[in-house]
DNA sequence: AATAAAATTTAGATTAGTCTAAAAATTAGT
DNA sequence: ACTAATTTTTAGACTAATCTAAATTTTATT
């Protein structure tokens, strides 16, 4: 079994790699974990001894298959719990993250399987992030940033880049929710802000900053 | 905030006191916590510094009002989670204890409130144990042991004394579940074993040992 | 009341995870 | 290619929770 701390390190490393083939640096992990580089080095040795990461001094780390599987399982649990909180317990999508960080470490295969079943095997979490299956397979969703679309194009909102409560609360006040159909009515040449129509609401403005944090499907 | 370990000590002390006005001994706590007396002494000092217990060297400990409140809150969470697992996730009453021991330490007032609501404010857990309310008030249930009843008396099952999976699994194979109406048809003078009728099943035998672990209402 | 037995506490060590400060290695700038 | 800046690692220390072994206090027995 791995400690809570070990699990959090593996998750952090997984998120920092995220597709890119480069190794993750000690400092990057330290920043993500809100800790010091020296502490990270200690933990990397430990994870390396356990064969959960490939670690070369001064170079960086990559997850082994074993380490990645553990990371994906934690992410699976995190996203299932978020879904449960939002779908069954009336939580808002902006208030589930920290709580899911606690719940993701609960150790029970049966519990995860039952929650999954109870939610009717969801494919994505409340933020549109894909939920890994029980084998650690992740459905890759092809999506693009709303900011890359052109005038008069239509698309569907599938997720967010920024997960901060502030951003999510802002979105909750608009018609921009997962599944919303978005039409780009106009783009301001000066600041790249957009005038859009989302769902059946009146057209409204969003900044380019916001558009860069909204994921949409290429349809 | 209190550590997971501190919470477990408070819970253990609460359960050892359980109504009796005597102080709890170091050895009793050590046994309950599967640890050594020396470790307990260390923790008692710590809890005493935090004013969660009244501790007098060589004498024993009692919970302060503050300590008791924390203990009851953990018990509340434990029992609500057990109820959730059984009622919503198809767990058996014999397989929820260890998992609830993990879940009871999840820290979120809103989560507890929402689970409580989701379960429609249950008064007892799957074993018939009362669930403390959010203020730490515990409904005392007046119940008696089935073994104290006489021939031809009728009662209703309200709980169990032994919570071991073995005992609970045994009961699950009979008609002895919470709420069952039990009629005592006969008592064997030699070994005090009982011939009973429970629910609408055929009469069957239970040992006195079993009867001593079944709680029933005095009706 | 004295002594033996049991319970409890203290002393000192250990482990996991963290830290600061210093040393070593790598990368960047000219 | 050499020095400066940055990154990473090592060394040594700290805290929480645990342990063993020894010392102390309480309780029980005669």
- CATH topology (fold) of A4-63: Arc Repressor Mutant, subunit A (1.10.10)
Instruction: Tell me where in chain B the CATH 1.10.10.10 domain(s) lie.
Output: 4-63
Burial class (CB in 10 A: 0-12, 13-18, 19+), A124: middle
Interface test with B, best of A1, A77, A89 (most B CBs within 10 A): A89
Instruction: Tell me where in chain A the CATH 1.10.10.10 domain(s) lie.
Output: 4-63, 72-141
A3 touches chain B (CB under 8 A): no
Percent of chain B scored above 90 by pLDDT?
Answer: 91
Burial class (CB in 10 A: 0-12, 13-18, 19+), B190: exposed
Say whether the CB atom of A45 is under 7 angstroms from strand D.
yes
- pLDDT tens readout for residues B131-187: 999 999 998 888 999 999 999 999 999 999 999 999 999 999 998 999 999 999 999
Interface test with B, best of A104, A114, A115, A120 (most B CBs within 10 A): A114
- pLDDT tens readout for residues B65-110: 999 999 999 999 999 999 999 999 999 999 999 999 999 999 999 9
Instruction: Tell me where in chain B the CATH 2.30.30.90 domain(s) lie.
Output: 143-217
Strand locations in B164-217 (E) = 181-187, 194-198, 204-206, 214-217
- pLDDT tens readout for residues B15-71: 998 767 788 999 999 999 999 999 999 999 999 999 999 999 999 999 999 999 999
Residue B85 to residue A111, Cβ atoms within 8 A: yes
The pLDDT score that the predictor gives to residue B13 is 97
| DSSP code of residue A168 | H
Q: Are A128 and A178 in contact (CB under 8 A)?
A: yes
d(CA B92, CA B126): 9
Length in residues, chain A? 219
CB < 7 A to strand C: residues 22-41, chain A: 33, 35-36, 38-39
- CB atoms near residue B3 (< 10 Å): 11
Protein residue nearest nucleotide C11, by CA to C1': B38
Q: Which CATH number fits domain A72-141: 3.40.50.1450, 1.10.10.10, 1.25.60.10, 1.10.357.10?
A: 1.10.10.10
Region A143-217: CATH code = 2.30.30.90
Residue A107 to residue B102, Cβ atoms within 8 A: yes
The pLDDT score that the predictor gives to residue A79 is 98
| Option in A89, A102, A110 nearest B115 (CB) | A89
Of the candidates B126, B197, B193, B209, the one whose C-alpha atom is nearest the C-alpha of residue B156 is: B197
Beta-carbon contacts of B65 under 8 Å, excluding residues fewer than 6 positions away, are none
Could you tell me how many CB contacts below 8 A there are between chain A and chain B? 35
Prediction ipTM score? 0.91
Q: Are A215 and A159 in contact (CB under 8 A)?
A: yes
- Which A residues in the span 72-91 are in contact with B, Cβ-Cβ below 8 Å? 85, 88-91
Q: Dihedral, CA atoms, B101, B104, B107, B108, nearest 10 degrees?
A: 150
In angstroms, how far is C1 C1' from B23 CA? 29
Residues of chain A with pLDDT under 50: none
């Amino acid at each position: 079994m791995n400690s809570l701390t070990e699990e959090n390190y593996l998750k952090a490393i997984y998120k920092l790699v995220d597709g890119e083939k480069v190794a993750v640096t000690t400092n990057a992990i330290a920043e993500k974990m809100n800790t010091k580089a020296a502490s990270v080095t200690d933990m990397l040795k430990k994870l390396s001894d356990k064969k959960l990461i490939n670690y070369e001094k001064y170079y960086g780390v990559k997850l082994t298959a074993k380490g990645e599987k553990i990371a994906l399982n934690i992410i699976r649990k995190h996203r299932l719990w978020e879904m449960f909180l939002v779908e069954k317990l009336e939580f808002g999508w902006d208030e589930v993250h920290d709580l899911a960080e606690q719940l993701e470490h609960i150790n029970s295969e049966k519990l995860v399987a039952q929650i999954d079943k109870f939610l009717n095997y969801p494919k994505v979490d409340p933020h549109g992030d894909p939920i890994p299956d029980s084998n650690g397979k992740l459905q890759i969703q092809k999506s693009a940033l709303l900011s890359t679309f052109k005038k008069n194009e239509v698309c569907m909102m599938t997720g967010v880049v920024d997960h901060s409560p502030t951003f999510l609360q802002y979105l909750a006040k608009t018609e921009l929710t997962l599944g919303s159909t978005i039409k780009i009515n106009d783009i301001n040449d000066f600041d790249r802000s957009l005038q859009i129509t989302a769902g059946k609401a009146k057209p409204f403005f969003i900044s380019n900053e916001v558009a860069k944090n909204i994921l949409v499907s290429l349809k």
